[in-house]
Every structure is written in C-alpha cells, then in structure tokens.
Chains A and B, each alone.
Chain A
C-alpha cells in the first residue's frame, strides 16, 4: 500500500515528473492520431478493394481469357455458399471522344450489371442508377443507345474539398471504343483486316469506387458488347474472370478453398475438350490476393509508420529513464529510510516501477484523451485551415481520391498504444529502479549525503 501512496505522491509533488507525463502524453497523442489516420486509410482502402473485387475471383491475367465459364457459373450457382457470381471481360482499349481525334488508352470491363452488382459493390459505385442497376448501361436521354459507365475521374473533377460537381456531368458524351480482338491462341483475330473492333458508346453513368486507379482509367461496358469487341464471342465464348460473393456466414478462406476445389474438378472434367489448355492458366484467388499488388503497398507504408513510431517510443523510454534517474537520485534519502524500516530491495525497485507505471498510465490517458478530441475534430480543423489560410495539410483533394480524413479510433490499436507506452515507461525506469534497489542505506543516510 505504501508503494502506491508514495509513488502517487512522488508523481504529484515532483514537478519533473510532470515533464515525463507530458512527454509520454505527447508521444501517445502523436501515435494515436497518426496510427488512427493510417489504419483508417488502410482499412478504407481494403474495403474499397473488397467491394471492387467481390470475395473471390476465378480468372486469368491473359487477355485471351478462358472458355466454359458459363458451365462453371452454373456449377457455382448450385452451391449453398454463393451469394452472387458474375462473368467479366477485362481488356484494354483506345477511347476517342466523338468529334475529336484524340485517343486515350483505358482499361475496359465488360459486366452484366445485375449479377455483377450482386457479386461486387459495382451498383453502390453508380451515381444515377444506384437504385436500378439493370439500367446502368441505358443513357438517360436515349435508353436504346449502347451505354457505358465511366470511371468518375475520367469525366468529373474534384474540388479542393474532394467533392465532385455532378451537375457538370458529361450528358450526351459519346465515346468510340476500339479494342484489338484476340483469338483463342492469343493472336490478333482480325490480322490483315482492319485489326480493331470499334463501337460507339454513350455515357450513361459514372462509377465512383474510391480507388484512384479504377476511377481514373476504367470504363464499364455491357458484357456482350465487350465480349464482341475483344473477340471473345463466337462458338466458344470466353471471359477473363468470374467474380464471386459468398453468403455472409461463409468464411473467406473456406469459401475460396471450396471454389478452388470445384474449379479443380471442373477443369479436370473438361481436360479432353477443345481449348482446355486455356483453363490451366486460371487461378482462384481471394480478393486480398487478387488485389495484393495494391494493398501490399499500403500495408508496407503502415508497417514503416509503425517502425518509425517505435523509434518515437525509444525517445519516450529515454525521457522516462532520465526523469526516473533524476527522481531516484533526489530520493536516495527516502530509499535509505525505507530500508531502515525493513523495506526489501525488491520493494524499493517496485516502488519506483509503480511510479513509472503511473507516469505511463497518466501520460497515456492524457495522450489518448487529447488524441481522441483532436481526431473528433480533425476534419473540421482541416476545413478551417483551408477556409482560413487555403492550407490543406494532408492531401490535395483535387489530386488524391481521399475524402474525409479517417478518424475512427480502433480500440485494439488504442490498447496496443497504451500498453506500449506503459511498457516503454517501465523499460525506461528499469535501470534507475535497479540502481535504487542496490543503494545501501548507510550510504544514503550518511550526513555527507544530505
């Protein structure tokens, strides 16, 4: 009990302890804010990628695609674990806004809007047809025209606060989209005969996935039209991927393993049929693996941030070390007194460790509270800075596809930060506490020491 009382009084009475508490609070504040923003960005980015890809993707990177996809989709649809499944054509195209001679290279995805919306977040990404995705490819001004859904950053610009001006939408925009159709062997299907398939599509909607690369370079086309443009129609129809969504109670890994097993038996069953070699290049991936190239970069940044803040933690350890050392130096008389009334070395050490624990606990509490208050208002503060000084400290919203600064504190991360701060304080105090425990009472109580 005396350890708690004395440690609390040392903390309360010694002004230097306030500096240790403030140092811990400052470190915790910075780590809470940065980790919350960084974790929020990564979480947000993963969620957007998850929505974009669905749960599982059966597909090939080859532009030739693979055959018998319809048979496999029928097989999947009989499975209890499947919520939605949709075939997709993926390729590259040249786009020329009608009336201009300008060409832009883009990615195209041919999708069936209804089934694709069941398998992915496509429907939620639309602006005009969110409530009726079946009409996603019907331009409002003439539903009979072939429509296309354009990545939002290709048609609209963001203002400084990251908002799109939908009123300035490109109504009536038509695009001539040209693809190089490939035959099942990967050769140009129309070699010597004009090479490209071209068709004009009319802007029917935009898609805002929140992924910069998708929104800035992807155009969705009706599945059949894209299949035709890419030369994948004909007697042996081909697709590049099948996007799958599992029922909510299905675990991702279990679902993917089930699909992989189905695909293995399906491809083995088709082994002796024509173009079966195209099935060999098909892989079954969870959305995390499918989007790994993009997610990994963000995760790496997050890891680097964590490492950098571990270095900040080392500074805290050093500050607590110095403060503990100073306090223990000033309290050598107390150590002598305590030992003269029967306090053991271990309890002397524990007393100052309790003091350091209090420093860590109080510093963490102040840091967390300040961090929480700051995060609650972080977007307001950023808005105020921009309105008042034209200063946008984090991201230029006209360039980056990031909306509000993420500010939802992850309780797990918070617990780790608090425990780390306390551990850092204890680590910093360990050596001075050990020295305190070793002090001999007769030396500390000598007149010359007073």
Chain B
C-alpha cells in the first residue's frame, strides 16, 4: 500500500491509473496521476476533450474507483472507507457541480438545494432539522441571486440559474471541497462568467474548489491551473 504524505492537502491523488474497455480495446485514460488540493485553494484542471479530466474528478469525489493508486481525503485512503463512509463522504465532504446541472425535475428549486441534508437524515431526523435546512437553503439561494425562484421547478429556470441551483445544492452541507465538472460548458459566455464569479466569491470566503474545464480562459479564473495530458498532470 502506498504511503500518503498527509501534508496540508485536503484531497490528494497519487499514482492514479484508470482505464476503460471500449469494445475489444482497453483505453488507458489516467496513467499515474499525482494531484493534490490544499485547503482554500481554487485549482482548475484543463485538458483536451477525452483527456480524463472528468474521470479524475469522479475519482477524487469517490464516484469512481481508480484501477491503481491512492486517493486520500485528509490523509485517509478512500479505498479503506466502507460503503456507508463513502456515502457520507459524498454527502458531506464533497459537493459536485456538473456541466448539465443534474437537478431533479420532480423537486422545486428549494427542495433540490436542501436535498443533500434530507438525504443524510431519517424521517424523524429530518423533521428535527427541517426548518434549519430550509432556512440555509433559502439563504444560499439568496446569495446566488435566486431568492425569488425557490418555489419554481428546474425546467422554469434558465441554464445559468439552474447551474446556480446546482452550486447551492453542492454547498448545502458545507463540504470541504467543491468539485465542478465543466460548470460553464453548457452556458453562454456572459452566464458562464457569472458562475465563475460566484466560484471566485466562494473561494475568497475560504471554499476549496477543484474545477475541470477544457477552456483555458475559464481555467485561468482559478488560483492555479494544472494540465492533464497523456494521462498525466503537468503544471501549467
């Protein structure tokens, strides 16, 4: 087992390999990636389409497992987490923002935002904290400029608004790390700028962010940028 240097990294990947089978051929996407993010950092990972950026992000967020290598959160190897611990990790320690927002159509904007809190509680536990959760969700929506949209359904919002709802959901449980996968990839330039502006504000308030983008202009809005090419990380 590879030793993890705790350092002051919140999330760290060392020697991560990942390959996929596509028909008869095995495609090696990540070939020994070393990557780390420290508390309060805003790091962007750039790379061409198909370079494995999203795969790396999914592995960092425990949505996928590496074939080889270690991913550690606060120095603890994620592969040692049990099923329940991994679910708690995804629920509380990281927050995902996806390119296509991925909101639940059946829920209102407000419900989508407080969903992570609801997920972490049982029926009785939820009734105990419901008011607090609703208030926090409303507060987040207000900060994201969606105070008036709480009762709307996702399909009634624009792309930018939906992405801000997704950011609100990702922040609901105050995660240590925000993982954003092409958050502006589906938005026009002005709306995308608004989202990046929101990320900037969050980072200045202390939020750790890892953002994946194929667009170097977008990536430059982060504190520092790394490049993923040929399955490996290179400093920009």
Contact = CB atoms under 8 A, between A and B. Distances in A.
Interface stretch (A273-281, A302-310, A331-339): A331-339
Interface stretch (B31-39, B70-78, B118-126): B118-126
B58 interface: yes
Interface string A1-41: 11011100110010000000000000000000000000000
Q: State which size class the interface on B falls in.
A: 35 or more
Nearest to A347: B119
B9 to A, nearest CB: 22
A447 B91 CA distance: 22
Contacts of A342: 87-92, 116, 119-120
Given A333-B102, A340-B102, A341-B115, A5 B92 contact: no
A17 to B, nearest CB: 12
A445 B55 CA distance: 12
Interface in A395-450: 440-442, 445, 447, 450
B98 interface: yes
Contacts of B107: 5-6, 9
B118 A2 contact: yes
Given A1-B126, A338-B119, A340-B63, A445 B87 contact: no
A45 B149 CA distance: 66
A344 interface: yes
B7 interface: no
Most buried by B among A1, A345, A440: A1
A341 B90 contact: yes
Contacts of B122: 1
B169 interface: yes
Given A2-B119, A5-B111, A441-B63, A340 B96 contact: yes
B87 A343 contact: yes
B2 to A, nearest CB: 23
B97 to A, nearest CB: 10
Nearest to A12: B106
Majority DSSP secondary structure for residues of B touching A:
helix
B216 to A, nearest CB: 20
Contact of A339 (B90, B104, B111, B169): B90
A407 to B, nearest CB: 40
Given A340-B63, A342-B90, A343-B119, A445 B106 contact: no
Contacts of B28: none
Nearest to B98: A445
B23 interface: no
B100 A442 contact: no
B8 interface: no
A231 B102 CA distance: 95
A347 B118 CA distance: 13
A6 B63 contact: no
Nearest to B170: A341
Contacts of B55: 442
A2 B87 contact: no
Contacts of B96: 340-341
A445 B102 contact: yes
A341 B120 CA distance: 9
Interface string B138-151: 00000000000000
B125 to A, nearest CB: 9
Given A340-B96, A342-B92, A442-B58, A6 B120 contact: no
Nearest to A450: B100
B121 A340 contact: no
B231 interface: no
B106 A340 contact: no
A445 B102 CA distance: 8
B193 to A, nearest CB: 23
Contact of A13 (B102, B106, B111, B127): B106
Interface of B: 55, 58, 61, 63-64, 83-84, 87-92, 96, 98-100, 102-107, 111, 115-116, 118-123, 126-127, 169
Given A1-B123, A13-B106, A340-B102, 6 more contacts: A1-B121, A341-B116, A341-B119, A343-B87, A442-B63, A447-B99
**8 closest Cβ pairs, A-B complex:** A342-B91, A9-B106, A342-B90, A1-B126, A342-B87, A2-B118, A341-B116, A337-B102
30 contacts: A1-B118, A1-B121, A1-B123, A2-B115, A4-B123, A6-B104, A6-B106, A6-B107, A9-B107, A10-B106, A13-B106, A336-B102, A337-B102, A337-B104, A340-B63, A341-B90, A341-B91, A341-B115, A341-B119, A341-B169, A342-B88, A342-B89, A342-B116, A342-B119, A343-B87, A345-B83, A347-B119, A442-B63, A442-B64, A445-B102
